[in-house]
Structures are given as structure tokens and as C-alpha cells.
Structure 1
Amino acid sequence: MATKKPDYQGGKAYGERMEMLSKKLSDINEDFLNDKDYSEVEDLAEKLTQYKEKFLEFDLDQNLEIGMMAMKRMMEKLGQAKTHLEIQKMIKEVDTTGSETINYREFVLMMLGGKSTILKLILFFENIGRAEETKTGVPPKRSLDSLP
């Protein structure tokens, strides 16, 4: 199966850096795919791909961690602006290492886990909202052959 190579803007060095980061996250995704605890998760490979893309989008300093400012930007972009105290609380709900950031493994565990966090809910509903785009314009002409 051929995978589509991402189109990164910013020059050769930036593209190489993003490829390296993407590879590291893909390796973590492989761990989840091979973990028997997650074998029952429906569409796991597809979900992990979406999580990787979302994580890379908001990893501002490209250190494979989402910190305070990256989280603030993420919430603002999703239309859910939060105060610094609210952001700190959201990070603490997910952070298992005490780093005061969210690494990719913690991010995936949050999204796949049963614990409902504010961030998980926002990302979940943001994804649902995007899937329900309505078509606009003139409907196509129908004939008797197209009826069910």
C-alpha cells in the first residue's frame, strides 16, 4: 500500500525534520497497533493516523510535546479559547510524566482511553462537526432510473 507523502512547506530542512517527526509518531502508532489491549478498538489504524496529523499540527516547536502555548493555540483555533489556568488543568488531566506537557503517547492514550477529558471532548466534537458538512447549490437532476 503506497502512502501519500505529506506536503510540507518551509524548505528541504523543514520537510526532512517533519518526516523524522512523523516517522517517530508512526513508530509509536505501531506500538499501539501491536498492543493486544487496543486490538478491539474499531478503525484503530485510521484513528491513529488522524491523531498523528492533529498532534503534528499543534506541536508548535516540533519537540513532540504540546505545551501551554501550543494548547492555547489549539483551543483558540478550535473556537474554545481558554485561560492559562484552564489550560494548565487540561494538561494536568492528561500528563502522566509530570513534564507539564502532553507527549504523543499521552495524547493517544487520552483519545483511546475511557477517561473523558475536556480536550478529548473538544477534539471529538470538532471532528464530528467537520464530518457533517452540508452540500450547497442546486441539486442534481434526477430521473426515474436514479430512484431507489
Structure 2
Amino acid sequence: MKISKKAEYALRAVLAMSRSATGTIFSIQSLAEEERIPLKFLEQILLILRKGGIMHSRRGAGGGYQLVRPASRITVGEILELVDGPIELLPDGNSLSPGLTSAFQELQGEMQAWLTKMTLADVMQREQLRGAVSFDI
């Protein structure tokens, strides 16, 4: 299973927004440049996230996009599902044995639980921990 490029860009954009102070408004252009995401693609993604209640937009001078909730209340699973739909390990009408089907259903349940528990704040904390380790001489 792989996440789509659209989902990857959505996660990168929302994480970039989460790293700034609450209430910060982001222009699509600056976010696209900062995260190296094609502008037209980012516009589509932000529209999906706005409709999904992750952010809202402001028009006019000084307008842009703003997160509705703090990073601690936005999950990785929520973003993935908004952008790519439900994550399914097994296609409808799979031809696996009942035992394998059961095993994959269990795996899917565990993965779904992890995705709905992992917040953007958790991801940023992991980034900080990785950044704190340095092997420079």
C-alpha cells in the first residue's frame, strides 16, 4: 500500500502550517514554494481540506488559508481519508483464503487505529527528536 502523491502533498502542507503559530494565515503561493508543491495541485488539495473542516480560507488582501484546529487535534488518518478516501488493504471480492482475509482485516483495523491516533503534533514531536540527534564531527 502506498499513499498517493496528493495525500503526501496534503500532509506536507498541513504539517508546514502546523509548525507556525496558531492563527497564521498562509498564501497558497508561499506554501507551494516552501513545500515545493505544484500550485494548481495545492489549490485542489486545500479546497478538499477546507471542505473537510481542517482549514478555512479568507479572501482579499492578506487572505489565504488557516488551520481551524491545533495540530494536536488533527490526525494523519483524517487527512489521508479526506484526500484518498478510506484505506482498504483488501479489494472487494478478494480471492484470498478466509485465514488470510481475517489476518489482513486485523492488520487494517490496527493500521486504522494507529492513523486515527497519530496527530500532527505527534509527527512534529518525532521530527524534533530526529533533529536533536546529530552525528556531525
Q: Based on CA coordinates, which of the two structures has the bigger radius of gyration?
A: 1
TM-score (normalizing by structure 2)? 0.36
Structure scoring higher RCO (CA < 8 A, sep ≥ 6) equals 2
